[in-house]
Amino acid sequence: MSSVDSKLYQYAVKTAKEAVALDNQGKKRQAINKYQRAAEILMQFMKYNKNPQMRMLCQKNIEEYVERAKILKSHLGGVSPRKIQQVERPSVSGVDDSEASAVSSEEQELIDMISSTIVTESPKVNWDDIAGLENVKQAVREAIVLPIAKPELFKGARRPWSGILLFGPPGCGKTLLAKAAATECKATFFSASSADLLSKWLGESEKLISSLFKVARLKAPSLIFMDEIDSVATKRGEGSESGGERRVKTQLLSEIQGLKSTYDKPLLVLGATNRPWDIDNAMLSRFEKRVHVPLPDMKARAGIFKIHTEGVNTELTDEDYVELAVRTEGYSGRDIANVCREVIMLPIRELDMSGLLESSDEEVNVRDISLKDFKKTLKKVKPMTNQALIKQYNDWAEEFGEV
């Protein structure tokens, strides 16, 4: 099986399992949707998979799912599909029971659809978990947190930016910033990666996008975070993109264009990209505010080392942290986090290799980590971003960015 095939198959299995779980809980309507989805996905899978045994198995499963959906439907009896029902518990997390509102079955179907593909969560990231980036944090608070938390201040000409773009090298805190913003303003947070949006093999990306925006409106105040936005609307694809890709892009453009967050129901879209120069002009113009999230400066790097060694015994002084920051020019936050993870494991690895972790009743003494450990590890872990790339970000920021 190719990786796309096996992904599709796994997705079908996952959906079927969810259907069975809902069925067991007596959530008939949701179970019906899931059984139907699982059958649809398997049908797609069969288009590509020619293995006769696999096809037979799929055919059998499809029949089972369709049959079960039929039975459940007959149990629903005369309930009109449009009848407003109270959701037992919205399947979109981040919305607590007290907020459970009347949702039509059609809307429930949308919620089911996006919740199996798009991550919705209540992030718990505080601004203090992000070292440095003071200007960026301020810009993100102004563009996202305040319009959602204090919508009454953002009416008339002082309307919020509906599309905000975070751009910069990978691993420098774009996702962290989005999560911190969502945590502070208590918005429902939808996180979609371009891989979700472009799930072409399901042939339903457009429906997925429109469902995402509908549910986000329903659950407003909402923040939609779209990572790797460049892959949905890439310049490289212009002219050569398939009809499907073009439709997805057009759908997304029109959703962002049509975003009218009324002041009591704010809905903002936050895009993120490591390749801002690849975003096509139509999409770029939808992101009115563009915020550069650069590589961490010296002070930020020292802070990132501290954050990622928190709670672990170290011999490190403040001067040592500064020395580490000096030695890691060009490293991203993720690079530094990886170095810390590696170093933190050293004492444990040593204990393990000397067999000291084998007897469970003896108390083991884990040694403190030292500057020497870091120096050794830094020789092995090199930064991912080079000077030429940094210049490319700076040039782009100068021409198109804001911060």
Interface with ligand ADP (CB under 6 A): 130-133, 170-176, 272, 296, 300, 304, 307, 333-334, 337
Q: Which residues pair with 290 in a beta bridge?
A: 165
With beta carbons less than 8 A apart as the criterion, state whether 205 and 256 touch.
Answer: no
Question: What's the min distance (Å) between Cβ of 300 and ligand ADP?
Answer: 6
- For residues 304 and 316, which CB has a smaller minimum distance to ligand ADP in the complex? 304
The DSSP output letter for 320 is: H
Environment class of residue 239 by beta-carbon count within 10 Å: exposed (0-12), middle (13-18) or buried (19+)? Answer: exposed
Q: Which residues pair with 271 in a beta bridge?
A: 165, 226
Question: What's the min distance (Å) between Cβ of 397 and ligand ADP?
Answer: 15
Question: What's the min distance (Å) between Cβ of 221 and ligand ADP?
Answer: 22
- The CA-based angle 11-12-18, given to 5 degrees, is 90
Question: What's the min distance (Å) between Cβ of 277 and ligand ADP?
Answer: 16
- For residues 116 and 338, which CB has a smaller minimum distance to ligand ADP in the complex? 338
First to last CA, the chain: 47
- For residues 109 and 335, which CB has a smaller minimum distance to ligand ADP in the complex? 335
* CB-closest chain residue to ligand ADP: 333
- For residues 124 and 150, which CB has a smaller minimum distance to ligand ADP in the complex? 124
- For residues 73 and 306, which CB has a smaller minimum distance to ligand ADP in the complex? 306
Residue ranges of alpha helices (H) inside 287-332 are 298-307, 318-327
Residue ranges of alpha helices (H) inside 77-202 are 105-115, 134-140, 146-149, 174-185, 194-197
Query: Which is it for the CA torsion 100, 106, 112, 118, positive or negative?
Result: negative
- For residues 220 and 378, which CB has a smaller minimum distance to ligand ADP in the complex? 378
Q: Which residues of 363-397 are buried (b: 16+ CB within 10 A; e: fewer)?
A: eeeeeebbbebbeebbeebebebeeeeeebbeebb
What are the CA-CA distances from residue 260 to residues 256, 277, 364 (Å)?
9, 27, 60
Question: What's the min distance (Å) between Cβ of 301 and ligand ADP?
Answer: 9
- For residues 180 and 185, which CB has a smaller minimum distance to ligand ADP in the complex? 180
Question: What's the min distance (Å) between Cβ of 150 and ligand ADP?
Answer: 26
Q: Which residues pair with 268 in a beta bridge?
A: 223
Strands 267-273 and 188-193: unpaired
Q: What's the token pair of residue 330?
A: 């060009």
Q: Over the Cα atoms of the chain, what is R_g? A: 25
Question: What's the min distance (Å) between Cβ of 96 and ligand ADP?
Answer: 26
Question: What's the min distance (Å) between Cβ of 123 and ligand ADP?
Answer: 11
- For residues 110 and 130, which CB has a smaller minimum distance to ligand ADP in the complex? 130
Question: What's the min distance (Å) between Cβ of 318 and ligand ADP?
Answer: 18
Residue type, 119: V
- For residues 103 and 166, which CB has a smaller minimum distance to ligand ADP in the complex? 166
Q: Which of 132, 163, 154 is nearest to 301 (CA)?
A: 132
Question: What's the min distance (Å) between Cβ of 308 and ligand ADP?
Answer: 7
Question: What's the min distance (Å) between Cβ of 297 and ligand ADP?
Answer: 10
What are the CA-CA distances from residue 12 to residues 44, 129, 204 (Å)?
10, 37, 15
- For residues 37 and 174, which CB has a smaller minimum distance to ligand ADP in the complex? 174
Interacting residues of 343 by C-beta distance below 8 A, sequence separation 6+: 309, 369, 373, 374, 377
- For residues 166 and 252, which CB has a smaller minimum distance to ligand ADP in the complex? 166
